[in-house]
Structure 1
């Protein structure tokens, strides 16, 4: 992997903190001895762990930056304009993961993201919603595909009507 390429280090401490944040006390996420004797043979990461790659991606709009307003996860985050002002409202609608193998402590992942399919649906009020897939492939140091993530974003027109 190149130095300029963003990567996600899959470390035991980060796995434990991620699992605790989810409220998942499965010892395979935190107890090295237990995990070594499990079917996995090592500490593994919870299923959605790759979402933490946002913090390692310098281009992510969701990554907090000191001294700058943060979009975060609120509808209208403090210090930032509403995403519906003067345009469409974009929302994260779905998330799907395909696991090609278990993600283990010690892995280092790189990723590439590409657009997937786009489709529309008519709302009851006549407005059109636009949906788009975004496909992210996570690979390990050897280039093996580990996880494929598909997110769906929906765009609603800012029509001034009810949502």
Structure 2
């Protein structure tokens, strides 16, 4: 079982930039043709200062591989079970956010092939003014053995 003492552990702050090309590629990968994700003029006409990131774009900014590696999860199979994202405002091209990841919970649950560990990670992003931009919560299932 994962050590419950991991709960509350936080990553170092990681600064991320929301880039135009990343927004465009992300929207293209989703197959979302909304012009506010591709065309600066369309985004401005809709009232935004720049290209708008699709709602699930936050997951691309929240992934902190170095922190996850430091949790010593080993080589177990990991299933991304659930993702929740809460926004204070939309992300737009040119935003610079600082993201901190925190272990919110560690649980053990029964599974068809035996006990599984559940790891809940929360990410919080703040802009260069220190204002909250988004919070995400990922639930990961880790198979043992």
TM-score, structure 1 normalization: 0.68
Cα deviation code 1:25-61 (max 9, x no counterpart): 1100111111111043432111122233378x57267
List structure 1 segments (4+ residues) > 6 angstroms apart after TM superposition. none
Higher helix share: 2
CA distance in 1, matches of 2:90, 2:101: 20
The answer (yes or no) to whether the contact 1:6–1:58 under 8 Å persists in 2 is no
- The count of corresponding residues between Structure 1 and Structure 2 is 130
CA distance in 2, matches of 1:119, 1:59: 22
More displaced stretch, 4-13 vs 106-115? 4-13
Name the counterpart of 1:37. Answer: 45
**Unaligned 5+ residue runs, structure 2?**
1-11
1:83 aligns with 2:70: no
CA distance in 1, matches of 2:30, 2:87: 19
**Unaligned 5+ residue runs, structure 1?**
63-81, 159-163
Name the counterpart of 1:59. Answer: 66
CA distance in 2, matches of 1:153, 1:18: 22
The answer (yes or no) to whether the contact 1:54–1:60 under 8 Å persists in 2 is no
CA distance in 2, matches of 1:58, 1:155: 16
Bigger Cα Rg: 1
Aligned-pair RMSD on alpha carbons? 2.6
CA distance in 2, matches of 1:155, 1:43: 36
Q: Shift of residue 119 of structure 1?
A: 2.5
Q: Shift of residue 131 of structure 1?
A: 1.1
Higher relative CO (CA 8 A, sep ≥ 6), structure 1 or 2? 2
